[in-house]
Amino acid sequence: MLFSPYTIRDVTFKNRIVMSPMCMYACDGEDGTVHNWHLVHYATRAVGQVGLIIVEATAVTPQGRISVRDLGIWDDNHIDGLRTLTTLVHEQGAKIGIQLAHAGRKATVSGEIIAPSPIPFDETMRTPKEMTKEDIEETIHAFQQGARRAKEAGFDVIEIHAAHGYLINEFLSPLTNKRTDEYGGENRYRFLSEIIEAVKEVWNGPLFVRISAHDYHPDGLTVKDYVEYAKQMKAQGVDLIDVSSGAVVPAKIDAYPGYQVPFAETIRREANVPTGAVGLITSGLQAEEILRNGRADLIFIGRELLRNPYWPKTASSELGISLEAPKPYVRGW
């Protein structure tokens, strides 16, 4: 199954291997633009036969960057570089997505940082400003404009980053959202909901959302809460939930091979929505087990693809599958 095609809307991925979005911090000009590193990095994984490559967290505002070296999509000037990247990846037979992001209180750029409530991540980080309704509206519009630019740049998939303690995740969790207005309490999902609707106004392709399915805190959210959120996302037209966990507050996480897969499995089963599994998945056999047992629909590979850009070849050998080589590599394949 790992090497079977998978179709969402009118986009078909040649296999179920997804390069997970991973920050590269490689924007030397600190202006959010694509540099040679990005062109080499992502195109290499396309040559390596990854089915879908998702570009790292790409900031929808300058203020929303995790660091000043993050990619950006807050300005039309970013489109040309991103279009060059999508063209390179498409030439090698892969599909390409982009993760639209805002770091919220975890931003380390200079100037004011914003969050749903004025609570710092920890004692080493700054206290954010509580967002006004105007701030909220401007940020929703920024996500929409990011989606428009992604479409113009030729991306096949958009993933909204609602995980890992960044801005949208901060609205979802009761640990970080202490608001008493229409974006707090029982309405913590509203911010994400309005972003989804805004994005859909300008984007009709496959739409993913990455979530953190467990806060790892006694007063935080668990996968049961995210089943309910996932049902709402599905009703809004989200095609797949990319299921990660943690990082909304400091926490000790017992990470082991496949430790997040049960979250993807639970959401897939109980919300009846396609999911992606991610987190210490390193072998073809492990990936195949996840798919064959109906625990997820796509396999997101992160650090293993940093170590081995040709991991699909390694996985195919483990599974006894003959994977077609790029023609220039046939002699060594």
Sequence-separated contacts (24+) of 127-135 with Cβ below 8 Å: 128/104, 130/179, 133/181
Binding-site positions = 20-23, 25, 57, 99, 161-164, 210, 302-303
Q: Who contacts 85 (Cβ-Cβ below 8 Å, separation ≥6)?
A: 34, 38, 39, 42, 43, 55, 96, 153
Write out the two tokens for 278: 């991610």
In tens, the pLDDT along 153-174 reads: 999 999 999 999 999 999 999 9
Residues of the chain falling short of pLDDT 70: none
Structural domains in the chain plus CATH codes: 6-319 (3.20.20.70)
Q: Which of 63, 66, 58 is nearest to 96 (CA)?
A: 58
Kindly report the backbone phi and psi dihedral angles of residue 272, in degrees, each rounded to the nearest multiple of 5, phi listed first.
55, 50
200 contacts 237 by C-beta, under 8 angstroms: yes
Q: Over the stretch 74-87, which tens digit does the pLDDT of each residue have?
A: 999 999 999 999 99
Binding site listing for FMN = 20-23, 57, 99, 210, 302-303
CA Rg value for the chain: 19
Residue pLDDT, tens place only, 233-276: 999 999 999 999 999 999 999 999 999 999 999 999 999 999 99
- Helices (H), ranges, the chain: 36-47, 79-91, 133-153, 167-172, 190-200, 223-236, 261-271, 284-292, 303-307, 311-319
CA dist., res. 95 & res. 154, Å (int): 10
**What local confidence, expressed as pLDDT, does residue 58 receive?**
98
Residues of each annotated binding site for substrate: 25, 161-164
Per-residue confidence (pLDDT) for residue 57, from 0 to 100: 98
Confidence at residue 333, expressed as pLDDT on a 0 to 100 scale: 86
Beta strands at 275-278 and 240-244: parallel, antiparallel or unpaired? parallel
Entry pTM? 0.98
Task: Tell me what pLDDT residue 304 has.
Answer: 97
Q: CB–CB of 157/52 below 8 Å? A: yes
Alpha-carbon span 323 to 285, nearest angstrom: 15
Q: What is the pLDDT of residue 325?
A: 87
